């Protein structure tokens, strides 16, 4: 199975959608600093192991600039997962669905 690329503008349509898991594949400290609302943090090194529990969902991946999530999408897509990756990563995202755990007290 292949994978699909989506633009930063398109990712908002997948947030909070049933049957879709938006995954930030960066390290937890980067996730805490800034991430998309509704995303879960599964670092790249743990992705393959933990994705097996999400086999029935569409996985939407993003990273800092898009390169690592593209690599991960190729790997998971080759194993039969339904995968999309956001080009440009969180650095390219300009939408309203950003949050930081550092802001919360």
Residue 101 reports pLDDT greater than 80: no
Asked if 71 contacts 5 with a C-beta cutoff of 8 angstroms, the reply is no
Domains of the chain: 3-94 (3.40.250.10)
Q: Record the pTM.
A: 0.93
pLDDT above 90 for 99: no
For tokens 């199975």, name the residue.
1
More confident residue, 81 or 1: 81
Residue 21 has pLDDT above 50, yes or no: yes
Q: Name residue, tokens 């969902």.
A: 57
């Amino acid at each position: 199975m292949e994978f699909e690329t989506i633009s930063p503008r398109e990712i908002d349509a997948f947030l909070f959608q049933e049957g879709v898991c938006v995954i930030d594949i960066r390290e937890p400290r980067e996730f805490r600093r800034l991430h998309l609302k509704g995303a879960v943090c599964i670092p790249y090194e743990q992705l393959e192991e933990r994705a097996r529990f999400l086999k029935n969902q569409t996985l939407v991946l993003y990273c800092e600039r898009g390169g690592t999530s593209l690599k991960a999408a190729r790997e998971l897509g080759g194993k039969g997962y339904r995968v999309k990756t956001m080009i440009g990563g969180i650095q390219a995202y300009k939408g309203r669905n950003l949050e930081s755990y550092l802001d919360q007290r």
